[in-house]
RNA sequence: GACCCCAUCGUCUAGAGGCCUAGGACACCACUCUUUCACAGUGGAGACACGGGUUCGACUCCCGUUGGGGUCGCCA
């Protein structure tokens, strides 16, 4: 039987990083097994589901390259089928109507809490005669859970997990308004979509028991469950939308490359020996549920950044410029000029090893697109004082008489000057750097000068000298 | 509170009873390289939560303790 996995987010917000990893693991496993990876939008909660969230999820998945193999399934569109299944259960005596009001249920929980008991539904209407039913209340339909024995789930990640059936209460399958709940819908849809492996967050582990019971009641075979540990925030608590989790779009905006995020996510909870930096193809060939860890892990931006730096290093200049364009034009307040783009292209190879994120890259390459006169930061100003200025003026004149403006010639000229003046290279290199870039940090200045071009480079030196 | 899960350097992890003097990666600290900053390279510091078993031998198996996490919705 061919493997079918699914990612089943609820459209109540952005696609957060934990969801992204769940999608990734489902995707990887399907790819590894030569199976299918599907997407199901769990939108049965009509009050909280929004089209914006659906778009955000689709966008996020697309950005990461984790779009599903088939059109997404919208759970709510299957509601008739869900209701039909509930009716069947009702007919078989495996479900019943419950007339408790939300207030009564709340009181029930409070009481249980006060008495330090488990806060479960007490089964009030399970065996109660329907003639007692209050006429003014529309009932919900509950599943008649098993009362005795215990249930074992052989989770592909967690191993055998056992829970006493008495721990499970009669969950609601159909709301008073007639719409199906998640617990019922997942079962029906996973069955109908022929899902073979359910890879999802650990927070669903207890749900797996309820779902197994529904599968059994329906005479269906449950899928193989694989509950992956959650990703925690730096504080060690579950990362969720309401607890510091960011949408994948935020990672994109922070300048992370999708392949870096994917590579990092792979290493959170899964490993292949000591491999840290690997391609998606390698991940596909290596991925196995058996190698997923059981313990939760914490999200570490430092490591993501480091990985991102490696991917930036591997990226071609043209792509990096495209990724930077928006940010550059924002700081520039106008479109990137052709000449600046050419400079960036030439300078990119030595720029990219200095940056871990796109904003950093933009910052580090700003002197290639910023126009004269450059603003000097504090360090640059300090480098442009006293003797430095006279050195600059002298170097400027020998540079000005260069027959051909290319890196070797520039370097030779500056080094000649250094030799004649009997000073250290740094004595003139730092002021030059300040003049060319407005800062004290940059790639080699001979390269920078060459890329800037004669007119621009000499002009910047003039600007620096004229400051006094 | 009840139930369930988890537990190796600060973080992510390797480790399937002897291969472990516990390995790698990030972060950190030195040094090398060097016109600055990075990159790279070299070195350093840094962990098997604790207590009992089992075994000739436990990071690895069992039990307990402690710690952390998750779930207990007409949310998913």
Pairing of strands A231-232, A297-298: parallel
A47 is catalytic: no
Strand partners, A298: A232
Task: Report the alpha-carbon distance of residue A83 to residue A140 in Å, rounded.
Answer: 12
Residue whose structure tokens are 């940056």: A355
- Preceding amide of A373 cis, omega within 30: yes
Residue whose structure tokens are 């990672």: A251
- The answer for residues whose C-beta is within 8 angstroms of residue A306's C-beta and 6 or more apart is A356
b (16+ CB within 10 A) / e for A112-140 = eeeeeeeebbebebeeeeeeeeeeeeebb
Spell out the alpha helix ranges (H) of A115-222: 182-192, 205-218
In three-state secondary structure terms, A287 is coil
Average pLDDT of chain A is 93
Residues in chain A: 468
Range of lowest pLDDT (A65-74, A126-135, A172-181, A263-272)? A126-135
pLDDT at A244 over 80: no
A426 CB inside 7 Å of strand B: yes
Task: Report the alpha-carbon distance of residue A373 to residue A299 in Å, rounded.
Answer: 43
Task: Report the alpha-carbon distance of residue A97 to residue A90 in Å, rounded.
Answer: 8
Answer whether A411's CB lies under 8 Å from A429's CB: no
So what's the pLDDT on residue A468? 58
- The answer for residues whose C-beta is within 8 angstroms of residue A272's C-beta and 6 or more apart is A278, A283, A286, A287, A291
> Assign residue A332 a region: left if phi > 0, alpha if psi is -120 to 50, beta otherwise?
alpha
Catalytic residue among A111, A241, A346, A379: A241
So what's the pLDDT on residue A25? 98
Evaluate the CA torsion angle A348, A351, A356, A360 in order and state its sign.
negative
Alpha-carbon distances, residue A93 vs A88, A165, A217 (angstroms): 9, 18, 10
So what's the pLDDT on residue A224? 97
pTM: 0.94
At A52-79, the pLDDT tens digits run 999 999 999 999 999 999 999 999 999 9
> How large is the C-alpha radius of gyration of chain A?
32
Range of lowest pLDDT (A233-237, A273-277, A316-320, A422-426)? A233-237
Task: Report the alpha-carbon distance of residue A141 to residue A87 in Å, rounded.
Answer: 9
Evaluate the CA torsion angle A213, A241, A105, A180 in order and state its sign.
negative
Range of lowest pLDDT (A84-93, A216-225, A228-237, A429-438)? A228-237
pLDDT at A133 over 90: no
Which positions 272-301 on chain A have a beta carbon less than 7 angstroms from any atom of strand B?
273-274, 276, 290-291, 293-298, 300
* Strand B nucleotides within a 7 Å radius of protein CB atoms: 1-8, 10-16, 23-27, 35-39, 68-76
At A31-44, the pLDDT tens digits run 999 999 999 999 99
At A84-128, the pLDDT tens digits run 999 999 999 999 999 988 888 888 787 777 777 777 887 778 887
Task: Report the alpha-carbon distance of residue A65 to residue A60 in Å, rounded.
Answer: 9
In this structure, how many other beta carbons lie within 10 angstroms of the beta carbon of residue A21? 24
Across all strands, nucleotide nearest A43 (CA–C1'): B76
Which positions 74-93 on chain A have a beta carbon less than 7 angstroms from any atom of strand B?
75
Task: Report the alpha-carbon distance of residue A26 to residue A14 in Å, rounded.
Answer: 19
The ipTM estimated for the assembled molecules is 0.95
């Amino acid at each position: 039987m061919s493997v079918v996995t699914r990612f089943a987010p609820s459209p109540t917000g952005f696609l957060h990083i934990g969801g992204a990893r769940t999608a990734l693991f489902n995707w990887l496993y399907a790819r590894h097994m030569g199976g299918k990876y599907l997407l199901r939008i769990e939108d049965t909660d009509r009050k909280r589901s929004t089209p914006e969230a659906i778009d955000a999820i689709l966008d996020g998945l697309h950005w990461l390259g984790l779009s599903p193999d088939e059109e997404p399934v919208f759970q709510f569109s299957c509601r008739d089928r869900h209701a039909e299944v509930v009716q069947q259960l009702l007919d078989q005596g495996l479900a019943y109507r419950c007339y408790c009001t939300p207030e009564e249920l709340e009181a029930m929980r409070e009481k249980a809490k006060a008495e330090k008991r488990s806060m479960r539904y007490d089964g009030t209407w399970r065996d109660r005669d329907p003639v007692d039913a209050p006429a003014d209340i529309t009932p919900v339909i509950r599943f008649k859970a098993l009362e005795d024995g215990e249930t074992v789930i052989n989770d592909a990640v967690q191993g055998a997990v056992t829970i006493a059936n008495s721990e499970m209460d009669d969950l609601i399958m159909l709301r008073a308004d007639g719409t199906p709940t998640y617990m019922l819908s997942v079962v029906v849809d996973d069955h109908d979509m022929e899902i073979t492996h359910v890879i999802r967050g650990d927070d669903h582990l207890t749900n797996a028991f309820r779902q197994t019971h529904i599968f059994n009641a329906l005479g269906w075979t449950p899928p193989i469950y694989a509950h992956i540990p959650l990703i925690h925030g730096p504080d060690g608590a579950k990362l969720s939308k309401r607890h510091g989790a960011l949408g994948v779009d935020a990672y994109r905006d922070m300048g992370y490359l999708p392949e870096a995020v994917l590579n990092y996510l792979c290493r959170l909870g899964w490993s292949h020996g000591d491999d840290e930096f690997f391609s998606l193809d390698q991940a596909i060939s290596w991925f196995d549920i058996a190698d997923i860890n059981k313990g939760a892990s914490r999200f570490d931006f430092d490591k993501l950044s480091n990985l991102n730096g490696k991917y930036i290093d591997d990226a071609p200049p043209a792509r990096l410029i495209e990724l930077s364009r928006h940010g550059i034009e924002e700081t520039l307040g106008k479109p990137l000029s052709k000449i600046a783009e050419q400079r960036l292209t030439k300078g990119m190879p030595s720029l990219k090893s200095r940056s871990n994120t796109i904003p950093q890259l933009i910052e580090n390459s700003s002197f290639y697109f910023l126009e004269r006169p450059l603003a000097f930061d504090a360090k640059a100003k300090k480098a442009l004082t006293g003797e430095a200025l006279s050195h600059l003026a002298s170097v400027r004149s020998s540079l000005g008489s260069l027959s051909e403006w290319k890196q070797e010639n520039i370097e030779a000229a500056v080094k000649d000057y250094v030799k004649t003046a009997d000073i250290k290279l740094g004595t003139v290199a730092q002021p030059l750097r300040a003049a060319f870039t407005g800062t004290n940090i940059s790639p080699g200045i001979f390269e920078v000068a060459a890329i800037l071009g004669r007119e621009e480079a000499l002009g910047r030196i003039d600007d620096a000298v004229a400051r006094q």
